Each structure stands twice: as C-alpha cells, then as structure tokens.
C-alpha cells in the first residue's frame, strides 16, 4: 500500500481520503428484505465508530467476506458523512496490520476506547475495599485470590459490548462503582435501622458486588481486539461462569457452605430477570442490594453512552438507543 498521509480515523473530516488504522469490531452477513446479500461492518478507533453496509455488487465485497472481526487493519478510504446515511467509509484498500506498522504509529491500545479512570488505581482501591470490609477469613481470601489470579482480565475486560462501560477497563470501573454503591446502601440501612443491623451482612454484600460480574472475563474473547462472546460465554453466560470461579477458589481455600451458597446466589441472581440472564431472582437482602447497585450503575452508563453517541440538536436524544426511548440531555449547572 503506497504511502499517503496517515491520520487517525476520529480526526478525518468528511470527503477526506487517507490511510488509517482501525479495528474491525463487528462483521455480520445479512440480507435485505428482497434477498440481496450484504455485509454489515463496524470499524473503530478509540474515539469514533463507523457502521455501514458493504453491498454484494461492490468491487470490494468478496474481499470483505474474508475479513475477521476483532482484527486490526490498515485502510485507505474516504470518510463521507451524508444527511441520510450518516458516516460511511468508501474503502479503496485494506489489509491486516503487520509488525512494520508500528513505525507508522500503530498501537492496538489506541484503537480501543479505554476507561477515563486510571486502571491500576481502581484495581488497588478495589483490593483495599475488600481488605477493609470483608473481615479476616476465607471470604476475604477467596475474593483476594480471584482478584489476583485474574488481574489482567479484570484490568482489560469490557463490562458490555454495547450498552455500558464498553471499553478497556470498563469491567473494573463498573465493578468498583457497584461495590461502592452496595457498601453505601449497607451503611444506610445499618444506620437507619440499627436494631436490624445483623440482618444484612456487609461482607456478603461487598464480596458479592466485587464478584458479581467476574465471569465476564470468561464470557468475552480475551484478545485485545475482540468484542465478542466466547463459546462458553454464549452458551453459559457470565453469571454461571462467575459462580464456577467462586467454586474453583473455594475448593482450594475452603468456605462455610452456607456462606458460599449465599455468595453464589448473589452472583447468579444479580440480573434479576431470566431474560437478562439471571438463573434466579434476588432472594436475600444482600442479593437485592447488589442487584440495585448493579442496575443503577449500568443504567447510568447506558445514559452516558447514549449521550455520547447522539447527534441531534434537540434537548432530547433520539429514541434509537439501547433503552428504546428518548433521554433528556444533561445541562451544565
């Protein structure tokens, strides 16, 4: 591919042609209502995502059939923005990146959005919360063991593919937030109803919050470029995979069977509804606390994700978002 200007995808202006590096984050073979085949693709870098169809009568269609989602490519294309179809890429040439591309600025980390919060600091804070609030014993030992053994996955995994915290470190950012919310809810009910303080276990609620989504590091493919489910993630789901990880750790360390059952229940019930992936609804005080902490943070993430992607000039966003209804855009106070 002869050299022309290399720019970042998110810096390209409409009708500009350039070389750039991008992640093919999604690829799907589809057909129109009349049976015409096309490929729906999504290319992205850390700050821009471009979704468009490649029609079967396009010269580049056959080449696109061989492209693999989760792969980084060097692309020559014109970036075009139209009123009816939004952003499109008119691709001239495309090839997988090579080691030689590093000298031209290719860095896979720069092509994936990343948490705005420092990853190592968040991980240390999560460990400190566990040490401070789980007491001394095997509950702390199990949580600590899981965090240490899966540190890399926790630091890099997304919390979701599309809905919320869908970037490197998103799982860690979401988990830390859910843990803080759950701990705050425990504090509220302990202080408001001191006579019922012994009915809510701080240790179980906090441990459950820390581990509620831990199965996501097995639910998603581990490659840096991948935003897709693993086979076991698709067939089993992160809640049951998380329960399995708790059982694996408990086999080595040991845990009171009643405590283990309640901890597993928090993990398998945190999504609450079967359609959302829950095996059971929350049936304990600690489980309902973790569910609402998780739901609050996930929904807030959905709102912020919608705001960042909306291009309307109205006070309300478009209803074409994950929630299916318009959202009132925040004002600076």
pLDDT tens digit sequence for 100-122: 999 998 988 778 888 989 999 99
Asked if residue 302 belongs to a domain, the reply is yes
Q: Give the domain-ending residue among 111, 134, 166.
A: 111
DSSP string, 5-22: -B--GGGPPTTEEEEEEE
Name the pTM for this structure: 0.79
CATH number at residue 148: 1.10.3210
Question: Number of folded domains in the chain?
Answer: 2
Asked if residue 281 belongs to a domain, the reply is yes
DSSP 282: -
pLDDT at position 86, please? 81
User: What does the pLDDT look like over 129-184, one tens digit per residue?
Assistant: 999 999 899 999 999 999 999 999 999 898 887 788 888 899 999 999 999 999 99
Asked if residue 252 belongs to a domain, the reply is yes
Do 170 and 221 fall within a single domain?
A: yes
Asked if residue 319 belongs to a domain, the reply is no
Structure tokens that stand for 2 in this block? 């002869």
Asked if residue 97 belongs to a domain, the reply is yes
Contact (Cβ atoms closer than 8 angstroms) between residue 227 and residue 158: yes
Asked if residue 332 belongs to a domain, the reply is no
Task: Give the confidence band of 26 by pLDDT, cuts at 50, 70, 90.
Answer: confident
Q: Give the domain-ending residue among 80, 111, 142.
A: 111
Q: Give the domain-ending residue among 66, 94, 111.
A: 111
Mean pLDDT score across all residues of the chain: 91
- Alpha-helix runs per DSSP H in the chain: 61-65, 119-133, 138-149, 151-156, 170-192, 202-211, 216-219, 231-235, 238-253, 257-269, 285-309
> What residue numbers bound the domain in which 239 lies?
119-309
Asked if residue 3 belongs to a domain, the reply is no
Mean pLDDT of 198-206: 97
pLDDT at position 69, please? 86
Q: How far apart are CA 98 and CA 70, in angstroms?
A: 15
pLDDT at position 227, please? 67
């Amino acid at each position: 591919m002869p050299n022309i200007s290399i720019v970042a995808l998110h810096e390209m202006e409409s009708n500009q042609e350039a070389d750039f590096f991008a992640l093919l984050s999604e690829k799907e073979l589809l057909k129109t209502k009349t049976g015409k085949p096309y490929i729906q693709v999504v290319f992205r870098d850390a700050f821009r995502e471009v979704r468009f169809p490649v029609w079967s009568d396009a010269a580049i269609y056959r080449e696109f059939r061989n492209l693999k989602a989760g792969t980084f490519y060097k692309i020559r294309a014109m970036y075009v923005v139209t009123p009816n179809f939004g952003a499109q890429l008119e691709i001239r040439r495309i090839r997988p990146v090579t080691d030689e591309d590093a000298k031209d600025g290719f860095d896979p980390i720069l092509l994936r959005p990343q948490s705005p919060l420092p990853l190592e600091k968040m991980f240390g804070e999560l460990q400190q919360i566990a040490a401070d609030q789980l007491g001394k014993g095997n509950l702390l030992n199990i949580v600590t063991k899981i965090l240490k053994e899966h540190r890399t996955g926790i630091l890099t995994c997304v919390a979701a593919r599309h809905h919320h915290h869908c970037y490197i470190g998103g799982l860690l950012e979401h988990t830390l937030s859910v843990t803080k919310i759950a701990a705050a809810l425990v504090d509220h009910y302990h202080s408001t109803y001191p006579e019922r303080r012994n009915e809510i276990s701080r240790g179980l609620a906090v441990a459950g919050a820390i581990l509620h989504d831990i199965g996501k590091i097995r639910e998603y493919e581990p490659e840096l470029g991948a935003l897709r489910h693993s086979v076991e993630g698709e067939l089993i789901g992160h809640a049951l995979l998380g329960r399995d990880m708790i059982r694996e750790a408990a086999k080595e360390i040991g845990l009171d069977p009643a405590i283990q059952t309640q901890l597993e229940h928090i993990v398998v019930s945190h999504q609450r509804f079967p359609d959302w992936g829950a095996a059971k609804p929350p049936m304990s005080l600690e489980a309902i606390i973790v569910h609402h902490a998780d739901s609050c943070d996930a929904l807030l993430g959905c709102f912020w994700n919608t705001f960042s992607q909306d291009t309307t000039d109205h006070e309300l966003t478009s209803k074409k978002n994950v929630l299916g209804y318009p959202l009132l855009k925040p004002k600076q106070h």
